[in-house]
A and B are shown apart, each in its own frame.
Chain A
Amino acid sequence: MTRPTLDRREFLALASLGGGAVFASGLYGCATPAAAGAEDFFFVQLSDSHWGFEGPPNPDARGTLPKAVAAVNALSVPPDFIVFTGDLTHTTDDPRERRERMAQFRDIVSGLKVQERHFLPGEHDASLDHGKAFQEFFGPTHYTFDHKGLHFIVLDNVSDPAARLGDEQLQWLRGHLATLPRDTRLVVLTHRPLFDLAPQWDWATRDGEQAVALLMPFADVTVFYGHIHQEHHHMTGHIAHHAARSLIFPLPAPLSAPRRLPLPWNPEHPYEGLGFRGIQARAATPALALTELPVVRG
């Protein structure tokens, strides 16, 4: 069964629901022939729900994730799949409570009307037990998958509490990339930024540079990540990095405040700064068009 694919106009209509600007990424003017099996499709990135968090930065902490699920289900065009780029749950020292939070999170996102879901851990999920609980609930923390001509690579830079991918994973990445033609269209999913966004705020991956160097020979690479609870766009050479908003509280712009404390909840504009991202993947270039969507329509 094939679903009608999304054309540009429909996607922009969808985008305008959210009022978000479309940020197009990809190699303009670089006519890479569309990969075999390439076909337009649409997927959604959700991030940083911190299930289990309580506090003034979000008085509706238990309501926001279900609202996001409803918002995704209400999209006029259903996504082919969702990716969730980490910090599904908020840290707890208690291994039983951690699993309880993961079970609740899994129940809530099971309400998403999508067939395919891909999860990554964040440091809140994985750093205190090296990803053990996460793996019990969601499987491996680094893996690959393909979808209609795009090749996705999921990297884990959080199961090591020191924020390293580690030699073993880098070796795996090197070996995996060696099997791929250089014109493979790559999408990398990770929790922390792979580049030094703000090491003073621990917004970095200690050996992220090595992963970026391995990806560099590929002409078409886009990285989607979470962790910093705000929209952010950055280029390392020709590789585009896009951070997503959070579903619990926004954080200040990098190094704009003495401390990286949550931005206060604004009762005049509840859910302000929270949201998720729609990504239209197209066979033509630019390959990806991004739209920021709110949890609740203002």
Chain B
Amino acid sequence: MRPPLAPAAGRRQFCARLAGLAGLAAAGALAGDALAQAPVRVIRISARRFVFTPGTVRLKLGEPVQLELTTEDVPMGFSVPDFKVRQDIVPGTTQTLRLQPDKAGEFVFLCDVFCGSGHETMNGSLVVEA
């Protein structure tokens, strides 16, 4: 049985866990070495309840990019299920997520950490141009 946590303690533990995981940020579909050398376009995405800014992100097919993710209020998630990548975002930190889209089209990104009433529509669009 999970011991009931006081909300404050729960959040602290949650954050500590995230901080520990930050170094292991999912790298996405990429070739690590190539990305480490090539200058990679950086795209900043900011989250707050219940929107991502920008709401639409345009990428080129095959172009490696680095997403820099922040949240202005509460812990959030950034997930692109079609590329099987996701990242937790904690207030006060910048998380990076590398992505090299290997298919063209329009894909959903969404918050996958429940953040309140409105969470259900907290999503955006990743447009990958061929």
Q: Which residues in A have some Cβ–Cβ distance to B below 8 Å?
A: 90-93, 95, 123-124, 127-132, 135, 140-142, 156, 158-159, 161-163, 166, 168-169, 172, 199-202, 206, 259-261
Complex contact B110–A128 (CB within 8 A) = no
Complex contact A202–B2 (CB within 8 A) = no
Complex contact B114–A127 (CB within 8 A) = yes
Partner of B2, one of A90, A168, A201: A168
Complex contact B77–A261 (CB within 8 A) = no
Measured between C-beta atoms, what is the minimum distance from B120 to chain A in Å?
Answer: 6
Partner of A130, one of B5, B88, B113: B5
Q: Is the interface of A mostly helix, strand, loop or mixed?
A: loop
Known A199-B81, A202-B111; 17 more pairs at CB < 8 Å: A91-B117, A128-B114, A129-B10, A132-B4, A132-B7, A135-B4, A141-B2, A158-B114, A161-B114, A161-B115, A162-B114, A163-B112, A166-B2, A169-B2, A172-B1, A201-B108, A261-B121
B79 on the A face (CB < 8 A): yes
- A163-B114 in contact given A131-B4, A168-B2, A260-B120 (Cβ < 8 Å): yes
- A202-B112 in contact given A130-B5, A140-B1 (Cβ < 8 Å): yes
A131 surroundings in chain B (CB, below 8 A) = 2, 4
Partner of B110, one of A93, A140, A200: A200
B64 on the A face (CB < 8 A): no
Q: 30 A-B pairs, CB-CB below 8 angstroms?
A: A91-B116, A95-B7, A123-B119, A124-B117, A129-B10, A130-B2, A130-B5, A130-B7, A130-B10, A131-B2, A132-B7, A140-B1, A161-B14, A161-B75, A161-B114, A161-B115, A162-B112, A162-B113, A163-B112, A163-B114, A199-B81, A200-B81, A200-B108, A202-B110, A202-B112, A202-B119, A202-B120, A259-B121, A259-B123, A260-B121
Give how many A-B residue pairs fall within 8 Å (CB-CB): 69
Q: Which residue of A lies closest to B115 (CB)?
A: A161
Q: Which residue of A lies closest to B112 (CB)?
A: A202
B63 on the A face (CB < 8 A): no
B72 on the A face (CB < 8 A): no
Q: Which residue of B lies closest to A196 (CB)?
A: B81
Measured as residues with beta carbon below 8 angstroms from the partner, the interface class of chain B is 20 to 34
B110 surroundings in chain A (CB, below 8 A) = 200-202
A90 surroundings in chain B (CB, below 8 A) = 117
Q: Which residue of A lies closest to B6 (CB)?
A: A132
- A159-B120 in contact given A200-B81, A200-B108 (Cβ < 8 Å): no
Complex contact A161–B113 (CB within 8 A) = yes
Residue-wise interface mask of B (38-52) relative to A, using a CB-CB cutoff of 8 A (1 in contact, 0 not): 000000000000000
Q: How far is it, in angstroms, between the C-alpha of A93 and the C-alpha of B14 when the chains are bound? A: 18
Q: How far is it, in angstroms, between the C-alpha of A99 and the C-alpha of B70 when the chains are bound? A: 32
Q: Which 3 A-B pairs have the closest CB atoms?
A: A127-B114, A199-B81, A91-B117
Q: How far is it, in angstroms, between the C-alpha of A199 and the C-alpha of B121 when the chains are bound? A: 13
Residue-wise interface mask of B (71-96) relative to A, using a CB-CB cutoff of 8 A (1 in contact, 0 not): 00001010101100000100000000
A129 surroundings in chain B (CB, below 8 A) = 7, 10
A201 surroundings in chain B (CB, below 8 A) = 108, 110
